[in-house]
Chains A and B, each alone.
Chain A
Amino acid sequence: MSLDTATVRRIAKLARIRVEEPEIATLQTELNAILGYVEQLNAVDVTGVEPLSGGAQMAMRLREDVVTDGGIADKILANAPDREGRFFAVPKVVE
């Protein structure tokens, strides 16, 4: 299956990556090359095969649902591009 330019724009929107008009054709070619390459997987019969999601040879470990860390707001905010007091600041979302 081959992606058209509208789909490339839609994927970029979903991925929250701004794509300028002249980049669309290149991206379309590159993404289609990758999708064309993975097409060979259609030849594999996977009837009755359970999907494998991870590399770990074990069940996910659970822990007590308790606070294990915290009280370091200033350390965390030190990397914020914008802040107000002890909060991250973002452009206005609600009018």
Chain B
Amino acid sequence: MSFLPELTIAAALDGLAAKDFSALELTRAHISAIESLDPQLNAFITQTPELALEMAGAADAARAAGSAGPLSGIPLAIKDLFCVEGVRTTAASKILENFVPPYESTVTAQLKAAGAVFLGKANLDEFAMGSSNTTSGFGAVTNPWQRNGSNAKLVPGGSSGGSAAAVASRMAMGATGTDTGGSIRQPASFTGITGIKPTYGRCSRYGIVAFASSLDQAGPMARSVEDCAILLGAMSGFDARDSTSAERPVADFRAAAKRGVKGLRIGIPAEYRMDGMSAEIEGLWQKGVAWLREQGAEIVDVSLPHTKYGLPVYYIVAPAEASSNLARYDGVRFGTRVDGEDLIDMYERTRAAGFGAEVKRRIMIGTYVLSAGYYDAYYLKAQKIRALILRDFTEAFAKVDALLTPTAPSAAFGIGEKTDDPVTMYLNDVFTVPASLAGVPAMSVPAGLDAQGLPLGLQIIGRHFDEETVFAVGGALEKAAGFSALPAIRAGGAK
């Protein structure tokens, strides 16, 4: 029997179906990987081994009874932004340190119904605000990858950094993530795994702790394009409890991932060639272009003229929505309370003690751009430029079927780097934010290593609700890239 945590989800499903191993054996192998690796990586805020074993037992029973679901027995990490009934859900914030949700998010309910096994709640940047997982109230996550000849600790990216580290290190076969401005794609790129942010409205937001509601979207992270397709199929679909959930049929993403790119028109947006971008990333992008051309795609130069305004628009819109969403954390109905002289003083002390520095900054920026006298100059203006960014994509997609770009402007960096001022950290998301603002689907696929031995991803952006083409292009890139490098810290690896 092969070392179980090495398997892809697709291979594990085959093994479970063939009775090569049981869901309990598969789950025990992952629990043991977590026990040995998580003290180093800190990818989990809450581990749920008892729940996992119970779910695995149920999956084995269902399989024996002939009623196995599409994910029966597959051990997953759940980003600690998804409410799982009866399991502490913190959003990586001290203000929710003891919050136990009395309800289940729609995405995790669907994963449960599909037979998945939950290993625990994955670490993230506090309230998903960050690109390095260093803003977590429960400690930073360490990237399982290291630079050649160095054991310096690197960030896994963020905000879904715990999910990414768990999947890359083989502590979990897949994970849920959420992406507001790049929080699935950038950590996927930093850890050499695949992640897709589907179209806004594809996965229900019900039961996911809200950051910026017009941008937040759940999606899967896994070690292959096909595995992401399997997971997204189970996570997607209409939900009446999310007013922005799309009433659309869910396609067979797994079949789409094998479709190939013959005859597809792939756009290369000139504006993603940024000043100061490393030659390695530029080189990898050109390789990606060549790989798709060799497989029969037509390459077309396109222009998305408002690309450079994506980040500044995002850093008005997202904090504005966050300041409103996070108003609920006032120490009254749930969460931590710090007593004060009166009600207002109690609110202020509770929020000062419960929120970390980055969350406070974003709430304050959001409060300012929505305040009387500044709303038009900042918030309304940003919403108008957001419309122009969407128009750029609409016009490009009249000419091409998908776009190919780098996922992030750099490989993983050291824990503690890029903290001189908030804007330096924000620049991580320069290539991922525009698709979030437009609501279109986008995926990161690992495509190669930089000179220091760190993974780099390429991003595929598709039309609204055309994840199928994104999967087709992702599958083709994956096949050509043949990415097989392994992180230094992983289950079954050399210590």
Name A's B-contacting residues (CB within 8 A). 3, 7-8, 11-12, 14-19, 27, 29-31, 33-35, 37-41, 44, 46, 49-58, 60-61, 63, 72, 75-76, 78-82, 88, 90-93
Bitwise interface map of B from 356 to 381 toward A, beta carbon under 8 Å scored 1, else 0: 00001101110110010000001011
Provide the bound-state CA to CA distance between A75 and B334, in Å.
11
* A38 and B201 in contact, given A18-B348, A58-B246 (Cβ under 8 angstroms): no
- Is the beta-carbon distance between A93 and B343 smaller than 8 angstroms? yes
Tell which of B332, B360, B464 touches A57, judged by Cβ atoms closer than 8 Å: B464
- Is the beta-carbon distance between B384 and A33 smaller than 8 angstroms? no
Bitwise interface map of B from 318 to 350 toward A, beta carbon under 8 Å scored 1, else 0: 000001000100111111110110111111110
| B426 (CB) vs chain A CBs: closest residue | A37
- Is the beta-carbon distance between B335 and A78 smaller than 8 angstroms? no
Provide the bound-state CA to CA distance between A63 and B242, in Å.
11
Tell which of A17, A44, A58 touches B364, judged by Cβ atoms closer than 8 Å: A17
Residues of B within 8 A of A76 (CB): 102, 333
Provide the bound-state CA to CA distance between A29 and B243, in Å.
38
Name B's A-contacting residues (CB within 8 A). 98-100, 102, 200-201, 214-215, 217, 240, 243-244, 246-247, 306, 308-309, 311-313, 315-316, 323, 327, 330-337, 339-340, 342-349, 351-352, 355, 360-361, 363-365, 367-368, 371, 378, 380-388, 390, 421-423, 426, 436-439, 464-465
Residues of B within 8 A of A34 (CB): 315, 361, 365, 422-423
Provide the bound-state CA to CA distance between A90 and B333, in Å.
9
Residues of A within 8 A of B387 (CB): 49-52
- Is the beta-carbon distance between B439 and A38 smaller than 8 angstroms? no
- Is the beta-carbon distance between A33 and B423 smaller than 8 angstroms? yes
- Is the beta-carbon distance between B200 and A30 smaller than 8 angstroms? no
New contact pairs (9) apart from A17-B360, A35-B368, CB-CB < 8 Å: A17-B351, A17-B363, A18-B348, A31-B361, A33-B421, A44-B309, A49-B384, A49-B387, A55-B436
B354 to chain A, nearest CB (A): 10
A61 to chain B, nearest CB (A): 6
- Is the beta-carbon distance between A14 and B371 smaller than 8 angstroms? yes
- Is the beta-carbon distance between A18 and B349 smaller than 8 angstroms? yes
Residues of A within 8 A of B355 (CB): 17
Tell which of A11, A16, A38 touches B347, judged by Cβ atoms closer than 8 Å: A16
* A35 and B365 in contact, given A11-B371, A56-B244 (Cβ under 8 angstroms): yes
* A88 and B361 in contact, given A58-B246, A60-B243, A78-B102 (Cβ under 8 angstroms): no
B345 to chain A, nearest CB (A): 8
B431 to chain A, nearest CB (A): 17
* A50 and B384 in contact, given A34-B423, A91-B339 (Cβ under 8 angstroms): yes
* A51 and B201 in contact, given A16-B348, A33-B421, A41-B313 (Cβ under 8 angstroms): no
- Is the beta-carbon distance between A51 and B383 smaller than 8 angstroms? yes
Residues of A within 8 A of B426 (CB): 37
Q: What are the 5 closest A-B residue pairs judged by CB atoms, nearest first?
A: A55-B439, A55-B200, A51-B383, A81-B337, A79-B334
* A38 and B343 in contact, given A33-B423, A46-B388, A51-B384 (Cβ under 8 angstroms): no
* A56 and B348 in contact, given A17-B355, A81-B335 (Cβ under 8 angstroms): no
| A60 (CB) vs chain B CBs: closest residue | B243
Residues of A within 8 A of B246 (CB): 56-58
- Is the beta-carbon distance between A55 and B215 smaller than 8 angstroms? yes
B453 to chain A, nearest CB (A): 32
Provide the bound-state CA to CA distance between A91 and B436, in Å.
41
| B347 (CB) vs chain A CBs: closest residue | A16
- Is the beta-carbon distance between B352 and A44 smaller than 8 angstroms? no
Residue in A15, A57, A58, A61 with the greatest tally of chain B CB atoms within 10 Å: A15
- Is the beta-carbon distance between B240 and A63 smaller than 8 angstroms? yes
Tell which of A11, A37, A49, A55 touches B312, judged by Cβ atoms closer than 8 Å: A37
